[in-house]
Amino acid sequence: MADWRPELAALAGIQVLDLEGRLVELLSLWRERCAVVAFLRHFGCILCRQRAALLGGLCAEIRARGAELVLIGSGTHSQARQFLQSCGFAGELYVDPKREAFQALGLHRSVLRVLDPRALWCATAARRAGFRAEPLAGDPWQQGGTFVLGPGNRLHFAHRDRRAGDHARSEDVLGALPGPAR
């Protein structure tokens, strides 16, 4: 899948916020490097905290392959900073308050995808694993996804969550990275 996809053209001109509230061109996040870019539903979501931990556990391998780990969530940059402080995520973190990138990438937004019994089961399992929800911090109905992008205009992997808790498999994410496996 390592070539430009037409749906990614819609990302041109979209900007996200860094943790200081400064605008950053979205495409710049993978222009010069490969990046695993994961979109979070919202910063208070128990399943998003679980996703951050799962991906954070892959951070050393992702970096060993010359890529970076990037999370993008809906909400505000101050909510993103609180998320970072509470979960200790080691990658880069940005905010898409208008959810423009979510929409451009075709990430689902639906009440039913959050209330799906499988999503509720995933949230229960995450709680048993020690993850905790925080107050709502973003759009609760937005679904996430995981992409391996770059360098330049390359899409190596795309996973759009079908419901809350539908995380991409770690082996699929690592397998999509262009560097050699270690």
Domain containing 100 — which CATH number?
3.40.30
Residue 164 domain flag: no
Rounded CA separation 154/21 (Å): 27
Q: What is the DSSP letter of 167?
A: P
Per DSSP, helices labelled H in 95-165 are 100-104, 111-115, 117-128
Domain count, the chain: 1
Q: In which order are the strands placed within the sheet that holds 145-149?
A: 23-25, 15-17, 92-95, 67-73, 34-40, 145-149, 155-160
Residue 154 domain flag: no
Residue 43 domain flag: no
What residues make up the domain containing 81? Answer: 1-34+58-141+169-176
Q: Give 3-state DSSP helix, strand, coil % of the chain, rounded to 5.
A: 35, 20, 40
Q: Global pTM?
A: 0.88
Residue 94 domain flag: yes
Residue 47 domain flag: no
pLDDT in tens, 86-114: 887 888 999 999 999 999 999 987 655 55
Please, what are the averages of pLDDT over each run of 10 residues along the chain (182 residues)?
62 94 96 95 84 92 95 91 85 94 87 65 77 76 90 92 86 88 52
Residue 20 domain flag: yes
Q: What is the CA radius of gyration of the chain?
A: 15
Residue 23 domain flag: yes
* Token duo for residue 78: 């101050």
Look at residue 58 in the predicted model and tell me its pLDDT. Answer: 94
Residue 103 domain flag: yes
What 3 state SS string does 51-92 have? HHHHHHCCHHHHHHCCEEEEEEECCCHHHHHHHHHHHCCCCE
